[in-house]
Amino acid sequence: MTEPNATRADIRREIRKRRLAITPELRAQHSRQAAATIASHQIFKRSRNIAIYLANDGEIDPAPLAAIARRCDKNLFLPVLAPNRANRLDFAPYHPHSLLRANRFGIAEPVVSRSQMISIHTLDLVLTPLVSFDNNGNRLGMGGGFYDRSFAFLHHRRHWQKPRLLGFAFACQQINTLPHQEWDVPLAGIATEQGVALFD
Ligand SMILES: Nc1nc2c(c(=O)[nH]1)N(C=O)[C@@H](CNc1ccc(C(=O)N[C@@H](CCC(=O)O)C(=O)O)cc1)CN2
Ligand SMILES: Nc1ncnc2c1ncn2[C@@H]1O[C@H](COP(=O)(O)OP(=O)(O)OP(=O)(O)O)[C@@H](O)[C@H]1O
């Protein structure tokens, strides 16, 4: 993967190490705590179709939130690497018994036919994985530009933003200032084990 900006690569390496160093016990505790905070927030209560992800590389785990969402009759979706469409994501329904298969990054994804993929515009809320974030809602991901490309249409929307992208991370992944890139897709907010912060 080519990296145009060494600074971003340095931050990525450093923060990935930091989140991988979190113990499994603390990771589980923070993931549960974050789930409880998100579940009590309007942004979750008002959402019916919610995209999550399967935790990888030391990420905070959306599984406890998924369990709550199922009890609340929400519909859950997972990202699937789109075939033939460079570094874009499709979203597929995610049920407890969904058939999953590892993608080229080793992350499991639902095995579904094209017709079962949903339109990205159906989603109300997208729990967005990230490596690092800053006070202004800038996001640094794994470097593939998957979320930036897939949700680029949000740049042209001012009001009635759907879906809302909620960055999901451990509080220790925050840094003061991330270099803003013009293609960075705007986050509605950030959720960590310390709470939910929405940007305006
Ligand atoms: N849990 C999760 N799922 C996700 C993402 C994510 O960040 N987290 N993605 C968010 O976009 C997409 C996948 N993007 C990814 C991009 C790079 C790597 C990764 O591990 N890269 C390796 C190099 C691997 C290789 O080249 O084969 C690395 O950087 O070490 C993983 C996921 C879709 N699904
Ligand atoms: N909307 C877009 N159209 C075309 N190229 C894009 C777009 N968004 C991002 N890119 C390209 O994707 C590459 C990776 O972007 P970036 O480093 O910001 O990814 P990321 O946000 O860290 O990754 P991800 O979203 O997969 O977690 C960059 O080289 C960038 O030029």
pLDDT digits (tens, 9 = 90+) for 124-152: 999 999 999 998 899 999 999 999 999 99
170 marked among binding-site residues = no
Joined tokens for residue 87:
């570094």
Nearest to 142 by CA among 194, 79, 189, 99: 79
Is there an atom of ligand 2 within 6 Å of 145 CB? Answer: yes
185 Cα to the center of ligand 2, angstroms: 9
The pLDDT of residue 160 is 67
The pLDDT of residue 158 is 63
146 Cα to the center of ligand 1, angstroms: 9
Is the pTM for the entire model greater than 0.90? yes
- pLDDT(22) > 80: yes
Q: Catalogue all structural domains in the chain, each as residue range(s) with its CATH number.
A: 6-196 (3.40.50.10420)
CB 69 within 8 A of CB 50: yes
Q: What is the value of ipTM here, to two decimals?
A: 0.93
Where is 170: in which H helix or E strand? Answer: none
The residue whose C-alpha atom lies closest to atom 4 belonging to ligand 2 is 149
